[in-house]
Amino acid sequence: MHSPELLKGTLQTIILKLLADNGKMYGYEITQKVKDLSDKSLQLTEGSLYPTLHKLEAEGLLKTEKVSMGKRVRKYYFLTPLGESTSIQKIQDFEAFMKTMFQVLQLSPKLA
């Protein structure tokens, strides 16, 4: 597990990028996908996920669609056009920030 503080500020970026890549996803699916892609080193908890999803929805970056699966109702989240452009923007911001951090920390950018 990483120092949890480092995750701060990146959650929205992660969510938006996943939705941009995968189309509609539901909350639990997002937590599993993050765990998967990060080899279990990022544990996206529901306590941070759902408030963030609701916030992004309130800001008009996401919309939701409810789909019945038997008795269970699954809630899918997907990007609005604004969400799509914001997603791209956030990725660029993140990349620029990384570049800056490498400069400030004077690290060689070997991350492959």
Partner DNA sequence: CGTATTACCTAAGACTCCAATGTATTTAAG
Partner DNA sequence: CTTAAATACATTGGAGTCTTAGGTAATACG
Q: Which of 46, 45, 50, 38 is nearest to 2 (CA)?
A: 38
Residue 48 or 110 having the CB closest to DNA: 48
Instruction: Find the part of the chain contacting DNA (CB under 7 A) among 3-11, 16-24, 83-91, 103-111.
Output: 3-11
Contacts 24+ apart (CB under 8 A), 36-39: none
Under a CB-based contact definition with an 8 Å cutoff, are residues 34 and 42 in contact?
yes
Helix (H, G, I), strand (E, B), or coil: what is residue 62?
strand
If binding means CB under 7 A, how many residues of this protein chain bind DNA?
Answer: 31
| Residues within window 48-67 making contact with DNA, judged by CB under 7 A | 48, 50-55
Q: Which residues bind DNA (CB under 7 A)?
A: 4-5, 7-12, 26-29, 32, 44-48, 50-55, 69-72, 74-76
